[in-house]
Amino acid sequence: MALNLADNVHKRASEDCTMHVETHAETHAATMRKEPRSSSRDTASASPFSPVIRRWRNRESGVEGLRIIAMVMIVAYHAYRYGIVEQNIALGSSAFDLFMLSLSPLGKTGVAIFFLISAWYLCEREAPTFRSSLRKACYLELEVLMYTIVLFAEYRILVPNALLSVDDIVNNLFPISSNALWYATAYIMFLLLYPFVTAALRAIGPSMHARLALVMFAVWGVAYGLTRYATWEFPTWSFIYFIYLYILLSYYRWYLREITPSTAWLMVAAGCLIFVVHIASCVLAFRYTGNHSYINKDHLFLTEEGKLPVLLVAFGLVSLAVRCHRRIIGVNAVASAMFGVYALHDNALLRNLLWTGTFSMRQVETWRAPIAVVVAAIVCIVVFGTIVDILRQLLFAMTIDKHYNTWFDAAYDWLYSCKVAQWLRASLQPVRGIVHDVYDTEGRAS
């Protein structure tokens, strides 16, 4: 990706950054538009389910299919993390142990894919507004809050004698602010900053944007992305990681030529090859020395967040998926429920019950076909979460979606016009002259 940036930075530096928003992209960006009263979340129709079905029908199945694959990868990784790593189970060289080790790169790669799919279409907004971003963030908060409260109540029913700490209660009542679901918190923070980040990147122009992307990729994509100890303050589990990915992707989307399918496949193959060599070298080191630390999570550093092979695989797969323009309503319906799968199975209370009780790996590895059991567990989690979230979508369509935009606009307008807001706007008016540095296309002050 860095080579692509370097090769193309001066080729399109003078081109206009205005982009044609295609019909298929409008579907994915519909929730971010500033047309609240005509959106599918606030419309009167013959059937309350029509907006939901319309969203399923209009989305592109190439991208939506990749979204499903990404969530399966995340669930599989959680089987490794919460079933093996968190339980301090020492892996060896058996077939089951090697299978569990092979799941280690999937989680962070799935997260990168999941975010890049959303960022791919967010890049097409010429001038996104804070109002539209806040609208999406508040709706996402409602989804997460519903899941955490329902799961909290269900956990109290299933385990009535369980002792819950104050942290457990706070995490379930305030899941976003307490970072109980880190992806949801990071994505909402990104949505709130997304209009300002986009405006800033548009303002600095292609030349400065390219230099920013190259510097960040050199430091975090290469120096951090290929080493173990040089962390370079990389923001793990943070919205800053999403901003970093957005800076890279937006430059590619706005200014560079689209990579060919062969190049995308090459990126995927290179990332997978790095994963295989890395994991295999750790296994060989363990076999020759007998030291279990070589196959611990700390030694599998190239499978972590933001590492170079993670970005290569994620970017390559997304680049391939967006080329498929078929629409299959079944695939799209399942894909629309993937965030619900995440919110359900990654709930702190439920995942402990899941990976230490129902599917305890200490017991599973002693069974007759442990690999088949783990695969079946992953499939069951995805299927169950999909069914629950589709039911949640239909329930929201009959209730919250009917008036969500009306309620949001009323609350936003009231807050914007209240006396405190007026006082803040008046207090924050600039009273001193602002000197703007003017840069030419090479970034030198003129």
Q: What digits encode the pLDDT tens for the residues 95-105?
A: 998 999 999 99
- Is the pLDDT score of 227 beyond 70? yes
Choice between 420 and 436, residue whose per-residue pLDDT is larger: 420
Separation of CA 386 from chain center:
18
Q: Does residue 443 sit within a domain? A: no
Q: Does residue 342 sit within a domain? A: yes
- Is the pLDDT score of 259 beyond 90? yes
* Token digits of residue 77: 């990784």
The mean pLDDT value for 333-337 works out to: 95
- Is the pLDDT score of 144 beyond 80? yes
Other CB atoms closer than 10 Å to residue 132's CB: what's the count? 21
Q: Does residue 248 sit within a domain? A: yes
Residues 413 and 409: their CA atoms lie apart, in Å, by 6
Which residues constitute the domain of residue 245? 2-427
In the predicted model, what is the mean pLDDT of the chain? 85
- Is the pLDDT score of 184 beyond 80? yes
Q: pLDDT tier at 442 (50, 70, 90 boundaries)? A: very low
Q: Does residue 439 sit within a domain? A: no
pLDDT of residue 436: 54
Task: Classify residue 412 as exposed, middle or buried by CB count within 10 Å of its CB (0-12, 13-18, 19+).
Answer: middle
Choice between 361 and 63, residue whose per-residue pLDDT is larger: 63
- Is the pLDDT score of 209 beyond 80? yes
The mean pLDDT value for 185-203 works out to: 96
Domains: count for the chain: 1
Q: Does residue 344 sit within a domain? A: yes
Q: Does residue 30 sit within a domain? A: yes
Q: pLDDT tier at 86 (50, 70, 90 boundaries)? A: confident
**Chain segment 324-333, per-residue pLDDT in tens:** 999 999 999 9
Name 445's bridge partners.
Answer: 439
The mean pLDDT value for 429-435 works out to: 72
Q: Does residue 97 sit within a domain? A: yes
Residues 143 and 392: their CA atoms lie apart, in Å, by 9
301-319 burial, b if ≥16 CB within 10 A, otherwise e? ebbbbbbbbbbbbbbbbbb
Lowest mean per-residue pLDDT among 36-40, 92-96, 134-138, 329-333: 36-40
Q: Does residue 441 sit within a domain? A: no
pLDDT of residue 22: 40
Lowest mean per-residue pLDDT among 111-125, 167-181, 259-273, 332-346: 167-181
The mean pLDDT value for 21-46 works out to: 44
The mean pLDDT value for 136-152 works out to: 91
Q: Helix, strand or coil for residue 336?
A: coil
